[in-house]
Amino acid sequence: MNVADCLFCRIAGGEIPADVIYSDPEMVAFRDINPQAPTHVLIIPRKHIASVAALDSAEAGLMGRLFLVARDLAQEEGIAEDGYRMVVNAGPDGGQTVFHVHLHLLGGRALKWPPG
């Protein structure tokens, strides 16, 4: 897919509005439009990477920082003490619907396991 057509590239570029709660030169975090928990934030790299399946080893640091930003946002959202879940869906069976890597941060209620 063309990067210009990618929904999350367009959100990162400010072309499509979103409830952005964090932004830096490498990544952006915004609230999910269809939240599955009281806190449901998506953390994405600005760089277009279609899926974790398409990750290059050179992107290991970037992905590590994605988790650190999510961890810090959990603190800011007030869910760090009770706990939260970070999820990456990949491919059809994983339930991936947007093909730009994103980390879901979910919390604010007790989450079930297995996820279904």
39 exposed, middle or buried (CB, 10 Å; 0-12, 13-18, 19+)?
buried
Q: What single DSSP character describes residue 111? A: P
Shorter beta-carbon distance to ligand 5GP: residue 17 or 81: 17
Is 25 within 8 Å of 65 (Cβ atoms)? no
Least distance (Å) from ligand 5GP to the CB of residue 40?
7
Contact pattern from residue 16 through residue 45 relative to ligand 5GP, giving x for each residue in contact according to CB under 6 A and a dash for the rest: --x-----------xxxxx-------x---
Query: Is 102 labeled as catalytic in the residue annotation?
Result: yes
Structure tokens at 53: 């399946």
Shorter beta-carbon distance to ligand 5GP: residue 1 or 58: 1
The residues annotated as belonging to the active site are: 102
